[in-house]
Amino acid sequence: MLDLGFPLWLLVAVLAVFAGVIYYVLGGRVSAGLRVLLAIVLAPVCTVAAVAVAVVLSALFSPFYETPTDPVRPQPTTQTVTTPETMPLETTASPSASPSASPTASPTASPTASPSASATASP
């Protein structure tokens, strides 16, 4: 048995419909004997043509209806734009900076309290 992927009765029904349409369309144009012969010969030809058109249209439109296999995810942006209004007041050196670029600590003078106390005792 020939396995077409669909029931055989469906093929016979489609061929019969095409034969009937062809017989009706050719009515009045050709003789009755020739009309039957053309309907029998052209029904399979029209069926194959209709299947070919359906396959081509299906191939053309299938990308629009398939789900994407690898969805595109937006990449997070980590770059910030600094303007004079939003610039930080203090900057710190990053760990990947070279040693010559890092600021060096300089000793600063700090005020010291002198022990100059003038204590007066009141009775």
Return the higher-pLDDT residue of 79 and 32.
Answer: 32
| 112 alpha carbon, distance to own chain's centre | 69
- What are the tens digits of pLDDT across the range 97-107? 555 555 555 55
> Does position 15 have pLDDT exceeding 70, yes or no?
yes
- Overall average pLDDT of the 64-89 stretch: 70
Backbone angles phi, psi at 44, to 5 degrees: -65, -35
| Token pair recorded at residue 115 | 């022990």
- The CA distance from 19 to 36, in Å, is 9
Beta bridge partners of 27: 30
Return the higher-pLDDT residue of 22 and 88.
Answer: 22
Q: 40 Cβ partners below 8 Å, 6+ apart?
A: 19
